[in-house]
Amino acid sequence: MTYEAIKHNNDINTYIKAADESLAALGFTEHSFAHVTSVAERTGYILEKLGFPDRTVEIGKIAAYLHDIGNVVNRVEHSQSGAVMAFRILDKLGFDAEDIATIVSAIGNHDEGTGVPVSPVAAALILADKSDVRRSRVRNRNEATFDIHDRVNYSVTKSELKINEAHSIVKLKLTVDVHYGSVMDFFEIFMERMILCKKAAEKLGLQFKLIINEQQLI
């Protein structure tokens, strides 16, 4: 079973759509197909760049595509409920136990509240997920009613996650329009996520660097 097959599974896509609708009702930013596809591609990029086997890259992309389905249950502890949902889905699709174990542990550990980079796949998923900050994730079109999450995401006009050629550093480079959100706003809601990214990078043998408007902050 491949990542492409997972992407075209109607049941999985129904859960992703319903999960995003639940988050929309709660006022959260976009967590639908644009988000999970972006996270999957970045997860694959990280693992491939670092020379992991093709199957590990594929498993990482599958974990990333499924990582937010638990939001259909509740935002609270969505990583754990998503892991349980993924187990049932993947078992039903005939995945072997080793692949299921890798995927569900990555999903169950992707959230900054309880997550730990327990494996290379989990670490890559964390970095890919927490680096998906962008203007297009903001649903609210009324700038006057932006909350801090809207301001921070809307302020980011460009986001790049790159591993250097020496495979020693992973950089998250953000271009921020400070008219909408300040660097302090970013750290107010993203500090815990950036700390988890640092731990994830270390799991992969990398140093994590955060660069905002060409200034290195971490």
At 120-153, the pLDDT tens digits run 999 999 999 999 999 999 999 899 999 999 999 9
What whole-number distance in Å separates Cα of residue 15 and Cα of residue 72? 7
Q: Could you list the pLDDT tens digit for every one of the 218 residues in the chain?
A: 899 999 999 999 999 999 999 999 999 999 999 999 999 999 999 999 999 999 999 999 999 999 999 999 999 999 999 999 999 999 999 999 999 999 999 999 999 989 999 999 999 999 999 999 999 999 998 999 999 999 999 999 999 999 999 999 999 999 999 888 888 888 888 999 999 999 999 999 999 999 999 999 88
What whole-number distance in Å separates Cα of residue 78 and Cα of residue 7? 20
Q: H/E element holding 175? A: strand 169-176
Q: What is the DSSP string of 200-215?
A: HHHHTT-EEEEEETTE
Q: H/E element holding 99? A: helix 97-108
Q: What pTM does this model have?
A: 0.96
What whole-number distance in Å separates Cα of residue 143 and Cα of residue 180? 9
What whole-number distance in Å separates Cα of residue 65 and Cα of residue 57? 12
Q: State percent of the chain over pLDDT 90.
A: 90
For 30, counting Cβ atoms within 10 Å of its Cβ (0-12 exposed, 13-18 middle, 19+ buried), the class is: middle
